[in-house]
Amino acid sequence: MSDRKNFVEIKVADGTTMSAYVARPQGSGKHPGIMVFQEAFGVNPYIRDVTDRFAKEGFTAIAPELFHRSGAGFEGSYTDFPATQQHTTKLTNEGLEADIRATHEWLSKDAQTDAQKIFSAGFCMGGRVSFFADTLVPLSAAVSFYGGGIAQGLLDRSKNLYGPVLLFWGGLDKHILPEHTRAVEDAIRAAGKEFGSVTFSYADHGFFCDQRASYNEKASKQAWPMTLEFLKYHLK
């Protein structure tokens, strides 16, 4: 568990309180905002680092703790995936929707954030949440890294996407198969929404995370500038 520096407390509509890590860009005035959604391992050093990286690129970045109902402050080990399941199995779309809306509202009311320019990005479990968020609140665009479960449970929400979505997949992923990625692409296309989809044939699930055994430097170093260009284009 971190020392909680730079965390804020957010009241959620269901009566719970959710902590969230906040990183701010340098400079005065209003900045675009971005919600950064965690993997199954919590708002850990990796997610905080990614949040910091977005702040350095000029975004007010916030990473909410999506496990606040089952284990506030949880930070799991990448070598102990079973420990995360006590939290992931308790997530519901209703709870996630409340958390997304609360986080979006916090950014919208933040004095240093432009409420008209809010984005999302998420990884693994958070990739699904980022896609979900784009169907719930008026985002300018969203990025989803290997979002598991979109194909199985969110395809019917494609018609509700607010902003364009950029999808990243690993071609070696044993959990998100080619038929899953095609189903997501087909659903968004059928809904007439804008999207980009990038599959790195040589990368596995979790390729962007430099703390995981599946980290792939080549794919990660290509995906990051693609992400920034996508977000900044939709700032215009």
In this structure, are residues 53 and 59 in contact, taking their beta carbons and an 8 Å threshold? no
Residue 1's pLDDT is what? Answer: 46
Residue 22 has pLDDT above 70, yes or no: yes
Q: Per the residue annotation, which of 110, 134, 173, 204 is the catalytic one?
A: 173
Q: Is 205 a catalytic residue?
A: yes
Residue 106 has pLDDT above 80, yes or no: yes
In this structure, are residues 25 and 31 in contact, taking their beta carbons and an 8 Å threshold? yes
Residue 5's pLDDT is what? Answer: 84
Q: Is 209 a catalytic residue?
A: no
Beta strand pairing call for 7-11 and 141-145: unpaired
- As its CATH architecture, domain 7-233 has 3-Layer(aba) Sandwich (3.40)
Q: Per the residue annotation, which of 110, 124, 209, 234 is the catalytic one?
A: 124
Q: What is the pLDDT of residues 175-190, one digit of tens each?
A: 999 999 999 999 999 9
Q: Which of 115, 143, 119 is nearest to 62 (CA)?
A: 119
Q: Is 124 a catalytic residue?
A: yes
Q: Is the pTM of this model over 0.95?
A: yes
Residue 227's pLDDT is what? Answer: 98
Give the domain ranges of the chain.
Answer: 7-233
Residue 9 has pLDDT above 60, yes or no: yes
Distance of CA 111 to the CA centre of its chain: 23
Angle between helix 125-134 and 93-109 (nearest 10): 70
Q: Per the residue annotation, which of 68, 87, 205, 234 is the catalytic one?
A: 205
User: Please, which residues bridge with residue 22 across strands?
Assistant: 62
